[in-house]
Amino acid sequence: MHLLFSITWGTISGWWVPACLLLGLLYAWLLYRQPVQLADKFRYILFAVRAIVVTFIALLLVSPLVKSVSYNPQKPLVLVLQDNSQSVNMFKSPGQTAPVVVIDGLSGLKQQLGDGYNVQEFHFDKDLSNGFDKDFNGKQTNISQALHQLNDKFVNQNIGAIVLATDGLYNQGADPQYEAKNFKNSIYTVALGDTVAKRDLLIGNVNYNKTAFLGNDFEIEILTEAYQSKGENIRLNITEDGRQVSSQNLPVTSNSFQKQVTVKLNADKKGLRKFNISIAPVKNEISTQNNSETVYIDVLDAKQKILLLYEAPHPDISVIKQSIENNKNYELKASLVSDLANVKPADYNLVILYQLSPASNGIVQNIIKSKLPLWYIVGGQTDLGNFNSQQKVTRINSGRLEMQEVFAQPVNDFTAFTLSDSSRKKIAALPPLLAPYGSYTLPPPGDVLLKQRIGSVETAFPLLSFADEGGQRIGVLNGEGLWRWQLAEFQTYGNHHAMEELFGQGVQYLTANANRQRFIVYTAKHVFDEGENVLINAELYNDALELINTPDVRIELKNDAGKDYSFLFSRDDKSYQLDAGTLPIGEYNYTGTTKNGDKSFTATGQLTVKPLNLESRQSAANHQLLNTIAKQSGGKMLMPSEINQLAGLIRKNENIKTVVYEDKRYNDIIDVKWVFVIILALLGLEWFLRKREGEV
């Protein structure tokens, strides 16, 4: 690093320099003009010293700026990323260079490039880590996240090149080629893995609703896949709590086979039912980890009663009633608030509050404060201040009472329940609703089913949200004009299937836990991935059905291998929470116990920790993706056998070079310490000479 200093005057005139020098000379002349007992040479030396000192002091008073310029050369960074996921080492063809050998070759890149480059090494699976790793034990791959973390780590630094060694397969995050565009440097990809798919049968995906009603049929959609297995049969079996309930054979007609299978089952038993979906393995199949899935469905017994409250007639009321009552398991009563005297809200499993204003009577306020599931529908008559204070799912900040047209935009990461693809597409194409103008708070990810699209602009504002607030399930629709949706859907498609599915699934989610027990223990989900923390919640109600968490709550988990795990819940607000950490793979039965006064309570349930088999779902490496990333950045894709060419390619790239950064800084001269050192040194010298000659 080189450092240069100079003086700049800023707003001060440079003519002050001769003025300060003239002042120094004048002061020295007045001091030494009279004859003193000094030799002439000492008088001249002391005259010069005093003139310089006074000049410096005068300059300090004028206070010019000292400019310092530093030149800092930065060698180009070469960032090497190695994919440490299981798929890299799981799927390789005979005779192919082993991934471990490729890592050894990349390890030599630092020595091959020499001191002119700053080579740094990383490995990744779902996250980025320092150094190389030869274990290949990552159970998830997120190439986009690794590139994003790398970009954040070296922002505004001289990145010369990125070397990305991977098979191009990812099962988490976005398409990495979009994240790669954020880099302005060359990316060299090393293509690991084999592009030929291996012989494999697997379950690609399972779609299902988490609840069903006793005696009703329900559907499970299963995506079956087969590779390099033409002529075989996919033997698909479904068992309910160990009892086979469905079986079918699917002929594999191609070497890259996919088929969506819809299985209709009957909810003939009440309670939480476990369904195991499996495909029988075939000979020479490369992996059987991806041949099975487990799902849980809560079968409810009672017919759900719904109360719809409103203050004034509106065409939306009949639309909501028709959409919900299409399901024979729901019974809806619509009532004006003024007629509430003849209604007992406690008889209902869900209350829908349609645009209720502050004039609503005390019965409505009691409903809001109760633990009944609620569905708010917000419109032009809604008092937003009152609405914001009643729930925590959505907060609307609006400076004026205006409405604006918003279209529905379905969200992909909503997990509370499932809408069919056809309904999602229909809803996205429906006319706009009228939503209050303003800014909206954003519920946690996974709570928003529909977002607002204003014109062609997709916003993050929620249109339809669902959440669980301390065990009370709440829905919020921030818009009115549902009658437009009903008319438009019928005009275009000749039916109301999307509207009926939307309201049916929403009501099913909200009423799923309406018949509350005094003590319940429930998991965040019924199926956890291997390595994922198992989260369990518990709620205890006193005789007045008020939520309390005074007594201790314990839980015992027992897996199918007979091993027991015991935990004590932590208190959270008025309920209980437990993070049981990671548990071994297997099926678990759990029993929660507590005691309030002289009453003991017990709650039971099931959960599954399944192997995380994401890495075995794709066996054919995606070299096309790696080639695209390399070409769009000006780099090149290399095969493992060409790894020795990498250093030469980097050296020949004229865009990879040392960059010199210039750093300019300005300081007042009074802040420069060496100026004071010079002044003190000169004054000390003057005093010493005068003392030596007897003039002090």
Beta bridge partners of 261: 222
Cα separation, 166 vs 168, whole angstroms: 5
Between 50-64, 147-161, 354-368, the lowest mean confidence (pLDDT) is in: 354-368
Both tokens of 208, joined, read 């299902």
User: Which of 33, 9, 32, 4 has its CA nearest to residue 20?
Assistant: 9
Cα separation, 572 vs 549, whole angstroms: 8
Beta bridge partners of 529: 610
CB atoms within 10 A of CB 430: 20
Better-predicted residue by pLDDT, 517 or 585: 585
Q: What is the pLDDT of residue 246?
A: 93
The 8-class DSSP code of residue 284 comes to T
Q: What is the pLDDT of residue 81?
A: 94
| Helix (H), strand (E) counts: the chain | 16, 38
* Displacement of CA 69 from its chain's centroid (Å): 42
Question: Residue 593: which H helix or E strand, with range?
Answer: strand 586-596
pLDDT per position as a tens digit, 573-616: 788 999 999 999 889 999 999 998 888 999 998 999 888 777 77
Cα separation, 287 vs 585, whole angstroms: 17
* Displacement of CA 43 from its chain's centroid (Å): 78
Between 57-66, 116-125, 129-138, 355-364, the lowest mean confidence (pLDDT) is in: 355-364
Mean pLDDT, the chain, whole residue set: 85
What pTM, to 2 d.p., does this model score?
A: 0.55
Q: Is 63 exposed, middle or buried (0-12, 13-18, 19+ CB in 10 A)?
A: middle
User: Which of 22, 169, 196 has its CA nearest to residue 87?
Assistant: 169
Q: What is the pLDDT of residue 176?
A: 92
φ and ψ at residue 636, rounded to 5 degrees: -155, 145
User: Which of 3, 107, 178 has its CA nearest to residue 646?
Assistant: 107
Fill in the amino acid letter for 155.
V
Fill in the amino acid letter for 222.
I
pLDDT per position as a tens digit, 130-171: 999 988 888 889 999 999 999 999 988 899 999 999 999 898
The answer to whether residue 11 scores a pLDDT higher than 60 is no
Q: What is the pLDDT of residue 567?
A: 95
Better-predicted residue by pLDDT, 635 or 529: 635
Q: What percent of the chain has pLDDT over 90?
A: 36
Better-predicted residue by pLDDT, 313 or 468: 313
Q: What is the pLDDT of residue 414?
A: 84
Better-predicted residue by pLDDT, 499 or 70: 499
Query: Of the ranges 1-5, 120-124, 155-159, 200-204, which is most confident?
Result: 120-124
The answer to whether residue 680 scores a pLDDT higher than 90 is no
Q: Which residues contact 68 (CB under 8 A, 6 or more apart)?
A: 3, 4, 5, 664, 665, 666, 667
Query: Of the ranges 355-369, 442-456, 515-529, which is most confident?
Result: 442-456
Helix ranges (DSSP H) in 421-552:
421-429, 482-493, 497-510
Q: What is the pLDDT of residue 21?
A: 80
Q: Which residues contact 635 (CB under 8 A, 6 or more apart)?
A: 161, 162, 186, 187, 188, 189, 629
Both tokens of 357, joined, read 């204003």
Cα separation, 121 vs 150, whole angstroms: 11
Question: Residue 206: which H helix or E strand, with range?
Answer: strand 200-208
The 8-class DSSP code of residue 193 comes to S
Q: What is the pLDDT of residue 645?
A: 92
The answer to whether residue 327 scores a pLDDT higher than 70 is yes
Overall size of the chain counted in residues: 696
Helix ranges (DSSP H) in 79-119:
86-90, 99-107, 109-113
User: Which of 62, 53, 55 has its CA nearest to residue 14?
Assistant: 62
